[in-house]
């Protein structure tokens, strides 16, 4: 699918798009209400609910994001402008309050997203960003019948999690900036889990871990009963599973994404998938001329036609 994306002036580079989007996306949020839903495993999730008729949109944020992330709020705004409803899920530990159980969230864990979809009434649409996009694609590939999603969109997906982790652990000041931005909060949360749930995690191993791969070895893999970061990446990566998706799904990714480039999606034919790959855009960037949040606008144009 041809792309009409043109980066905003002075934001042509991948890193400029990635950082500027995180700093400059400040859309005005529609009226939502925060609700706490008890989960089947005795824990809870916090969601922001937008009331509306017609389609209901599930919105999934990225690694260490939340329902307050600019791209999530923009999706809520676009849904409200159409009179639709929406639910923005805060993955466990991302709403500002620690969860009851040791289990947190990861790129391959779609149980809470499926639980939310099961509580949504009417035609269901879904959009996910970065980690949330990977969660969405894996869910659609493995639990399509239960999800009952009419159309979906996934933005800046880390199709190959091992390659993405290696990029984050790679050389250069910008990669170190991204890595430390994630690890600062990830480590703090993991150490808090280790303190609240003795025996679940090794606090000394968490402190000694280096980089994203080291963190996933020490925390993510053990929490999900996996032996290593490499095993976790193989279990969670959506790229190899996307060939099984049957839901009409738009994939928006940039070739210059410094963390998860479009090229990480394996080559295969699947008529349910529409690839909207751009030369520029960075990671969850896509800031266009005129201050347009291009990816979010494209996602809802897709929903307008695909539903």
Give whole-number Cα distances, 22 to 59, 83, 196, 296, in Å: 17, 27, 32, 14
Please state at what angle helix 229-236 crosses helix 161-168, rounded to 10 degrees: 130
Instruction: Specify burial of residue 291 (Cβ count, 10 A radius: 0-12, 13-18, 19+).
Output: exposed
DSSP state of 218: I
Catalytic-labelled residue, pool 66, 95, 107, 130:
130
Catalytic-labelled residue, pool 61, 257, 264, 280:
257
Give the pair of three-digit tokens for residue 218: 């020490």
Catalytic-labelled residue, pool 15, 61, 264, 283:
283
Q: Tell how many helices (H) and how many strands (E) occur in the chain.
A: 12, 10
Q: Of the candidates 165, 305, 203, which has an alpha carbon nearest to the alpha carbon of residue 248?
A: 305
Q: Of the candidates 215, 174, 207, which has an alpha carbon nearest to the alpha carbon of residue 64?
A: 215
Q: Of the candidates 161, 303, 186, which has an alpha carbon nearest to the alpha carbon of residue 241?
A: 161
Give the pair of three-digit tokens for residue 140: 């659609």
Q: Whole-angstrom Cα distance, residue 95 to residue 68?
A: 9
| 283 counts as catalytic | yes
Judge contact between 190 and 215, C-beta under 8 A. Answer: yes
Judge contact between 104 and 193, C-beta under 8 A. Answer: yes
Active site residues: 130, 257, 283
């Amino acid at each position: 699918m041809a792309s009409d994306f043109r980066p905003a002036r002075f934001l042509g580079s991948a890193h400029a798009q990635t950082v500027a989007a995180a700093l400059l996306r400040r859309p005005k949020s529609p009226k939502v209400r925060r609700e706490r839903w008890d989960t089947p495993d005795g824990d809870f999730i916090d969601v922001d609910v937008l009331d509306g008729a017609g389609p209901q949109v599930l919105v999934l944020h990225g690694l260490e994001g939340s329902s307050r992330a600019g791209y999530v709020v923009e999706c809520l705004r676009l849904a409200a402008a159409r009179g639709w409803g929406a639910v923005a899920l805060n993955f466990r530990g991302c709403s500002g309050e620690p969860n009851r159980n040791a289990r947190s969230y990861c790129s391959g864990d779609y149980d809470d997203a499926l639980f939310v979809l099961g509580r949504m009434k009417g035609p269901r649409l879904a959009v996910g960003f970065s980690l949330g996009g990977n969660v969405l694609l894996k869910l659609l590939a493995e639990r399509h019948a239960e999800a009952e999603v009419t159309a979906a969109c996934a933005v800046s997906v880390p199709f190959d999690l091992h390659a993405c982790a290696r990029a984050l652990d790679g050389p250069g000041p910008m990669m170190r900036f991204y890595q430390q931005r994630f690890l600062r909060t990830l480590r703090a949360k993991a150490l808090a889990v280790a303190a609240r749930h003795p025996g679940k995690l090794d606090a000394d191993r968490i402190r000694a871990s280096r980089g994203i791969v080291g963190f996933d070895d020490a925390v993510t893999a053990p929490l999900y009963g996996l032996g290593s970061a490499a095993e976790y990446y193989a279990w969670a990566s959506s790229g190899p599973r996307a060939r099984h998706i049957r839901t009409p799904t738009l994939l928006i990714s940039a070739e210059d994404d410094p963390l998860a480039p479009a090229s990480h999606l394996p080559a295969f034919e699947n008529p349910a998938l529409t690839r909207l790959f751009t030369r520029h855009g960075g990671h969850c960037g896509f800031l266009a001329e005129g201050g347009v949040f291009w990816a979010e606008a494209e996602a809802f144009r897709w929903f307008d036609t695909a539903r």
